Structure 1
Amino acid sequence: MPSPKPMKIQGRLWLEQDERSLAGHGRIDLLQRIAESGSISQAAKSIGMSYKAAWDAVDVMNNLSGAPLVERSTGGKGGGGTHLTERGQRLIASFRRIEEEHRRFLQSLGEHIDDFADTYQLIRRLNMKTSARNQFYGKVSRIKHGAVNDEIEIELPGGDRIVAVITQESTQHLGLAIGSDAIALIKAPWVMLATGADDLKLSASNRLSGSVVKLTPGAVNTEVILQLRGGATVCAIVTNDSAAELALAEGRPATAIFNASHVIVGVPA
């Protein structure tokens, strides 16, 4: 399979006046040709533009700039012609300087084009909208196929692992494979908290240990933020009575527990 061609970053540059386009590459090139030829008809012909379109562009630039950029002279020894004013010449010079800086800027961005894919996916993840409070990005580390459902293990960047149970159809539809990117979503009310959970025997597949970093009591429930050993955080919603019974406090160790069936798996678009 042939190697893909390297990616390049391209961009367009134009100047605006009163929120209207004053000049871009096409109009600046037209001005440049007028300055060189002294004739708007020759300038228009050299860049493949009609005479009328060229004068329309000149009229727009003259009107927007506040002072003429191009002037037409008639009669005289040379039979008349078209020339740029000093303001028109300054506009070309300024645009060329800006154009060069723009070229250097794009060249600098292009040196980091290899990071584009990862950065783009990160932006997509950050812009994802969902009602699930807990959103974890990781990579599929294990797939255990069953008769109907598959067990998907997702390893987070800090080393923590989340297990989800989804249908085989979902596994295929999402294109999940070992090493592929995946996103695990868990609603906060689905997360149970426990202290001293090492001695508990539970059917829940997911046990993530950490310490409480934030408590926000409400009228009935308390929002608890648990920072995992790997650095990620988990949000749980428990009753105020449960928070008191567990003696939850900032800095105290706790374990987040949730069923694999409560984990929704997604993939970056």
Structure 2
Amino acid sequence: MDDVKNAAPESGGRRFRAARIFSVPDAVKFLDTLELTRLAEAFAAWTSRAGRPDVAVSRNRVQLIYLLLRHTGARLGEVLAINDRTDINLDNLSVQLGGSEGGLGREVQIPAELGDALAAVFDDPAYASMRGILFRLDQGHVRRKFYERAEECGFTKELVNPSTIRRSRAVELLRDDVPLPVVQRILGHSTADLTAAFLHLPEEQRRKVERQVLTRETRRTSARNAFFGRVARVQRGDIQSIVTVESLGGHAVSSIITNESLKNLGVVEGSFVTAEIKAPWVVLEVGADLPRVTAGNRFQGEVELIRLGELTSEVIVALSDATRLCAVITSQSARELALAEGQKVWAMFTAFAVVLHVE
């Protein structure tokens, strides 16, 4: 884990890989890829030990539920609600999930091996009477069988809880450098912030972060741009300090505040804050190369929208993680830059322009 936490930042030191932001603390429980595979092998061995055909069918249904959880990161209720006739598409190896427990309806890809296992079941006459309700098993029964397999593998019950398997899949994806918005969609979260909070924190802290996210989304402020994240570093000076915030979307934002403000806000490494920047303080520059400017915060994105006014214009820039920055510049500057939707630009602002908020 230390190698992941200390990974070098990408271009210009302003963009961080997902694995660096979502390093998993020791207190957070999850299974790594090898452990997930061991558990799958335990289910396969358990199914093969069935003495009667009807028992083998029953055990295989539980095994398929585990494999769906393991490869989709779904909630247990979502998997149990799958209609195997309509929600599984073996042609494109996907399963339709969501909606039953408040999640977002979504299509999630599955591996070919799982597709083959499902195809074998769909073609087997022994399962004909169960089609459409193949996964409609009692949650308590499923959990008990999970715990039994956990004991065989030497795992605690906590490690094979369906929510832990869901978290384990998300950690696995992020370690494979799958972008946060993609993991967000797979999990069915409404925002990337909730995905990050779900992955990174124990339950008590997760609820606190979710409350902070909701407060941030409903707070009225004149600042158009906000990055919510964890304080990664505090460099104290004699009068002012530099605070570096690693956003949940994978960006590093620097702010310079007085030491008195640092104390009053209670900002320390590891705490969560919102870094806000007013739109007029955001400067734009066209081009693919990293600009050589004094502004410490530099983010590359694409122009998503331009609203031209008589004197000033508003430009929305979409960053790589779907974060959007708004810049208000003079209309003359917009014309001189020849801005167009889809154009690559750099959005920049100084550390002095960043205001920190603590909920």
Q: 2:335 aligns with which of 238, 244, 264?
A: 244
Q: What letter corresponds to residue 264 of structure 1 in structure 2? A: V
Contact conserved, 2:288 with 2:344, CA < 8 A, in 1?
A: no
User: Which residue does the alignment assign to 2:257?
Assistant: 166
The answer to which structure has the higher strand fraction is 1
Largest Rg, 1 or 2: 1
Corresponding residue of 1:232: 323
Report the Cα distance in structure 2 between the residues aligned to 1:186 and 1:172, rounded to whole angstroms. Answer: 21
* Letter paired with 1:117: K
Which ranges of structure 2 fall in alignment gaps of 5 or more residues? 1-202
Whichever residue aligns with residue 147 of structure 1, its letter is D
The structure carrying a bigger helix percent of its residues is 2
Aligned to 2:280, what secondary structure does the other structure show? helix
1:241 alignment partner, SS class: helix
- For residue 336 of structure 2, what is the amino acid of its counterpart? E
Give the percent of matched residue pairs that are identical in Structure 1 and Structure 2: 39
Q: 2:283 aligns with which of 192, 199, 207?
A: 192
Residue type at the aligned position of 1:225? I
1:20 aligns to what? none
2:313 equivalent to 1:222:
yes
Aligned residue for 1:215, secondary structure, equals strand
Give distance in 2, aligned partners of 1:210 and 1:199: 12
Name the counterpart of 2:212.
121
Quick check: 1:157–1:230 contact (8 Å CA) kept in 2?
Answer: no
Structure 1 residues 197, 114: CA separation in 2 closer, same or farther (over 3 Å shift)? Answer: closer
* Residue aligning to 2:304: 213
Amino acid in structure 1 at the alignment position of 2:242: E
Distance 2:284 2:318 in 1: 12
Equivalent residue number for residue 130 of structure 1? 221
| 8 Å Cα contact 2:284-2:348 kept in structure 1 | yes
Deviations 1:145-184 (A, max 9, x none): 1111000111111211111000111111111112210111
Displaced runs of 4+ in structure 1, greater than 6 A? none
TM-score, reference length from structure 2: 0.42
* TM-score, normalization by structure 1: 0.55
Task: State the 1:219 CA deviation.
Answer: 1.3
- 1:231 deviation in Å? 2.2
3-state secondary structure, aligned to 1:185:
strand
* Counterpart code for 1:237: V
Matching residue of 1:79 = none
Q: Aligned partner of 1:158: which letter?
A: G
Q: Distance in 1 between the 2:344 and 2:328 partners?
A: 17
**Unmatched 5+ stretches in structure 1:** 1-111
